[in-house]
Amino acid sequence: MIDKTFLHKVRNQIIGINTKVPLINGKRIKYINFDNAASTPSFKRVAYKVKEFLYWYSNVHRGTGFKSQISTKIYDEVHDLVANFFGVDTKNNTIIFVKNTTEAINKLSNSLNLSPKDIIITTPMEHHSNLLPWRDKSKVIYINLDQDGRLDLDDLEEKLKEYKDQIKLVAISGASNVTGYINPIHKIAKLVHNYDSKILVDAAQLAPHRPIDVKDDTSSEHIDYLVFSAHKLYAPFGTGVLIAPKSTFAGNKPDYTGGGTVKAVTLDDVIWAGLPDKEEAGTPNIVGALALGESIQLLNKLEWEKIIQNEDYLSNYTLKQLRKIDEVILYGTMKSDTTTNQVGVIPFNIKGIENTLVASILANEFGIGVRNGCFCAHPYIHHLFGLSDQEIEKVKGDISKGIYTHKYGLIRISFGCYNTLAEVDRLIYAVKDIIARKKAGIDLTTNYEFDNKTAEYKPKNNINYSKYFKL
């Protein structure tokens, strides 16, 4: 069951929880955010702490002024908070602040001294940010997926055996941003270490929903590299994190050079700074780091067990309601299983209606924010749809020509720790209403026009967004 007392406490911490948005019928309605996998709203406490800090803000490191000393102290403390949050041994590992998960993975790919002979093992279920950074530097091998889109660990072991001496890294997502499947990261880590390789976990989707312990360096289940973004952890102020062994950067020139990365510079030589400074070029996002620090402290106080319990109940309730609707298409194990080994992400479609049209109707007629399309995980969507190589090539060819008539995309519901059963009920009502109108022969596109540039259905009576917020 949902812990209503806990949920009330959490909802009181969310900025914008009661914001009303306009509908195309001229009315306004309280907004429902089911797009948390893309980004979460800010905790109030995070925003308040940022506002409080701005009175003391200054640049960090080497500034003797009082405000600079405070800013430096806070910035360094957040590195320690992150280490404690994930159980990182900072004697052998470093915490590097970047913009987001994408930059963190790119930084790692630039720091591993990869060659075309090196092999990166990854999966077709990855976000593009954990696919593309590896492709131009090394050979990429993909772990097989089963029909439902889950990893085949037997295939992983076969590939570890086959390519043992060439493998530089195994890069996997902690949880899928499409299906929400949670990968057994510690089991995989143990397997990877048995073959003398290292593991990277993209925790962008896992970190907001589950506590993560990277474990001691001596553990066979140790996570060597971990990346995540603060904007998915209720601190949307532009910070990401790379957790990595210090040895990764030993003797390497940083991928970005300049201010803050050095101890000394002459016209002919340079002495690089220690970690993490060497890898955090230029003035860092001090405010973003502060926001992350405040957020993870609050998440710990909110109790993970209750967060997991509420999200699991919400996900299973939603799936139960969706399964009752014949016109709804569910994917993978969600057709029948409960979601005990998934984070709160549910992809679906409605038979005979484009996903982009459904998403637009939900937003503009019901005030419900979802996401539709392929979620920066095109190969995984292709797999879930069971597309042949020929069909994939056709989709690719059409897109290159600006043709968006293909229907290969999903509607994604993704929960945060603050979403409610009442919000789900409104979604289910909306889905049923859309289907009923379709059955009655009503043209669902009457109030919309298709934008070929963005592949979106947009309201014909353009909403004046500047009326609600502008620079």
Q: Give the burial class of 201: count Cβ atoms within 10 A of its Cβ; 0-12 exposed, 13-18 middle, 19 or more buried.
A: buried
Catalytic site residue 417? Answer: no
State how far the alpha carbon of 102 is from the alpha carbons of 111, 227, 240, 422, in Å.
14, 9, 8, 34
135: nearest Cα among 348, 331, 409, 379: 379
Quote the CA–CA distance of 335 and 345 in Å, as a whole number.
Answer: 14
Tokens for 374?
């392929």
Q: Are 107 and 242 in contact, with CB atoms under 8 Å apart?
A: yes
Percent of the chain that is helix, strand, coil (3-state, to 5): 40, 20, 40
Report the sign of the C-alpha dihedral through residues 204, 200, 223, 150, in that order. Answer: positive
DSSP H or E run through 199: strand 199-202
Is the Cα torsion angle 387, 389, 391, 393 positive or negative in sign?
positive
User: Rounded to whole angstroms, how far apart are CA atoms 17 and 33?
Assistant: 9
Do you know the residue count of the chain? 471
Encode 37-63: b = buried (16+ Cβ within 10 Å), e = exposed: bbbbbbbbbbbebbeebeeebebbbee
Q: At how many degrees (to 10) do helices 286-302 and 4-11 cross?
A: 160
Report the amino acid identity of residue 302. Answer: L
DSSP sequence for 141-184? EE--B-TTS-B-HHHHHHHHHHTGGGEEEEEEESB-TTT-BBP-
Token pair in block for residue 191: 């397997």
Which entry of 95, 343, 376, 410 is annotated as an active-site residue? 376
Start-to-end CA distance of the chain, whole Å, equals 43
Q: How would you class 271 by CB atoms within 10 Å of its CB: exposed for 0-12, middle for 13-18, buried for 19 or more?
A: exposed
Say how far apart CA 228 and CA 205 lie, in whole Å: 8
Closest CA to 244 of 270, 276, 283: 276
Which residues lie across from 414 on neighbouring strands?
35, 345
Residues designated catalytic? 376
